């Protein structure tokens, strides 16, 4: 007997059992509600289109499956950058930006070029997502407005020379004030104004002014250093002279008082009964001062012989 083999076309078709795959499909759908958040991120969950109050921190999270929950992860610690009056591509490649984009009018009606690079971070993820459609553009416009209002109240010399730090601080404060008023949930961390420069037509004149200011400041610092070095020496010398003068004054007063008392005592002796003895003592003391350590011989000019004036008594 010959056995007839059946071909696949001849086999009866078995019904496809969808019910066997249904649990696996349901499990896969429910698994779409499991997600992870990195350590540097925070997640905002929108459930049926409404954002949940609680932000999701780092770790493994479980929510409702796809269609119910929509998870948006934001890197809140990552600095973001926008360019004002230039572009990040031009800054990276070193190409010159369009001058008109960065020109501002100062308070004394001079034009200056002030391109800026703004760095900011997310401080409120929900406000960052829902309060503005284009946050970088809003940060750019707020910074441009802050630069214009700051520069318009200052002179061109101050902007380009001595008040650069003041300009940067005011721009950051005013731009942050505008962004807080809009409530977009960002914080400006830095503003770089390194490309501040005058127009090309007057660049050389401004360079000369800046050099002259630097020379003036250097001369002032050198003079101030010389003053700080010499002034203590002069004050010390003045104190020394004053102390010496006071000591000489005290010594002179004491000596004068002593001489005055001595003269008073001597006058009292001369007015008393011992006048002759006092006169002889004064003559002897005067001779000791005028002719010290010498033998004294007194001669009469006419007699030519030594005359005893009776000042010295003969020793036995």
Residue 48 and residue 118 in one domain:
no
Question: What pLDDT is recorded for position 272?
Answer: 65
- Residue 264 covered by a domain: no
- Residue 118 covered by a domain: yes
Residue 135 and residue 32 in one domain:
no
Question: What pLDDT is recorded for position 156?
Answer: 80
- Residue 309 covered by a domain: no
Q: Which pLDDT tens digit goes with each residue over 100-120?
A: 567 787 887 878 888 888 999
Residue 102 and residue 188 in one domain:
yes
- Residue 280 covered by a domain: no
Residue 53 and residue 149 in one domain:
no
Residue 88 and residue 118 in one domain:
yes
DSSP letter string over 125-153? HHHHHHS-S-HHHHHHHHHHHHHHHHHTT
- CATH number of residue 132's parent domain: 3.30.479.30
Question: What pLDDT is recorded for position 110?
Answer: 79
What is the residue range of 169's domain? Answer: 80-198
Mean pLDDT of the chain: 78
Residue 42 and residue 125 in one domain:
no
Question: What pLDDT is recorded for position 2?
Answer: 47
Residue finishing a domain among 198, 220, 255: 198
Q: Is the pLDDT score of 173 beyond 90? A: yes
Residue 102 and residue 190 in one domain:
yes
In this structure, how many other beta carbons lie within 10 angstroms of the beta carbon of residue 200?
Answer: 9
Query: Residues 218-252, buried b or exposed e (16+ Cβ, 10 A)?
Result: eeeeeeeeeeeeeeeeeeeeeeeeeeeeeeeeeee
Given pLDDT bands bounded at 50, 70 and 90, which one contains residue 192? confident
Residue finishing a domain among 148, 179, 198: 198
Question: What pLDDT is recorded for position 12?
Answer: 53
Given pLDDT bands bounded at 50, 70 and 90, which one contains residue 298? low
Mean pLDDT of 296-304: 59
Residue 96 and residue 193 in one domain:
yes
Which of 217, 139, 122 shows the shortest CA–CA distance to 178?
Answer: 139
Residue finishing a domain among 7, 40, 74: 74
- Residue 313 covered by a domain: no
Q: Is the pLDDT score of 316 beyond 70? A: no
CA angle 218, 223, 227 (to 5 degrees): 145
Q: Which pLDDT tens digit goes with each residue over 206-240?
A: 778 778 878 898 999 999 999 999 999 999 999 99
Beta carbons of 279 and 270 less than 8 angstroms apart: yes
- Residue 210 covered by a domain: no
Question: What pLDDT is recorded for position 301?
Answer: 60
Q: Is the pLDDT score of 161 beyond 80? A: no
- Residue 203 covered by a domain: no
Residue 35 and residue 101 in one domain:
no
Spell out where the chain has E strands. 34-37, 41-47, 50-51, 59-62, 69-75, 80-84, 103-105, 111-113, 116-122, 186-192
**Residue bearing tokens 């004491």:** 254
Question: What pLDDT is recorded for position 15?
Answer: 53
Residue 158 and residue 184 in one domain:
yes
Number of domains comprising the chain: 2
Please give the C-alpha separations between residue 135 and each of 43, 144, 145, 151, in angstroms, as whole numbers.
18, 14, 15, 24
Q: What is the pTM of this model?
A: 0.55
Rounded to whole angstroms, how far apart are CA atoms 128 and 41? Answer: 14
Which of 93-107, 191-205, 297-311 has the weakest average pLDDT?
297-311
Q: Which pLDDT tens digit goes with each residue over 71-87?
A: 888 888 888 999 887 77
Residue 46 and residue 155 in one domain:
no
Percent of the chain at pLDDT above 90? Answer: 19
- Residue 315 covered by a domain: no
Q: Which pLDDT tens digit goes with each residue over 241-266?
A: 999 999 999 999 999 998 888 888 77
Beta carbons of 168 and 155 less than 8 angstroms apart: no
Residue 137 and residue 92 in one domain:
yes
């Amino acid at each position: 007997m010959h056995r007839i083999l059946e071909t696949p076309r001849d086999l009866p078709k078995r019904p496809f059992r969808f019910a066997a795959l249904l649990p696996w499909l349901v499990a896969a759908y429910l698994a779409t509600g499991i997600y992870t958040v990195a350590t540097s991120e925070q997640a905002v969950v929108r459930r049926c289109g409404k954002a949940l109050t609680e932000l999701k921190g780092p770790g493994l999270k479980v929510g409702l499956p796809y269609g119910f929950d929509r998870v948006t992860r934001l890197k809140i610690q990552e600095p973001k950058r926008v360019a004002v009056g230039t572009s990040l591509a031009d800054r990276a490649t070193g190409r010159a930006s369009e001058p008109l984009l960065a020109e501002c009018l100062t308070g004394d009606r001079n034009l200056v070029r002030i391109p800026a690079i703004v760095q900011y971070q997310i401080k409120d993820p929900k406000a960052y997502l829902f309060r503005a459609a284009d946050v970088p553009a809003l940060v750019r416009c707020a910074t441009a407005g802050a630069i214009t209002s700051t520069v318009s109240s200052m002179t061109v010399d101050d902007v380009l020379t001595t008040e650069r730090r003041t300009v940067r601080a005011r721009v950051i404060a005013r731009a942050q004030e505008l962004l807080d008023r809009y409530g977009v949930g960002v914080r400006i961390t830095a503003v770089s104004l390194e490309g501040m420069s005058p127009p090309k037509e007057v660049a050389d004149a401004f360079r000369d002014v800046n050099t002259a200011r630097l020379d003036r400041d250097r001369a002032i610092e050198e003079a101030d250093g010389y003053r700080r070095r010499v002034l203590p020496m002069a004050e010390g010398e003045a104190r020394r002279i004053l102390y010496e003068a006071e000591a000489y004054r005290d010594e002179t007063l004491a000596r004068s008082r002593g001489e005055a008392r001595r003269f008073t005592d001597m006058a009292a002796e001369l007015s008393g009964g011992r006048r002759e003895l006092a006169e002889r003592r004064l003559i002897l003391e005067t001779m000791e001062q005028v002719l010290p350590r010498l033998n004294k011989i007194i001669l009469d000019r006419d007699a030519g012989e030594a005359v005893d004036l009776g000042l010295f008594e003969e020793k036995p």
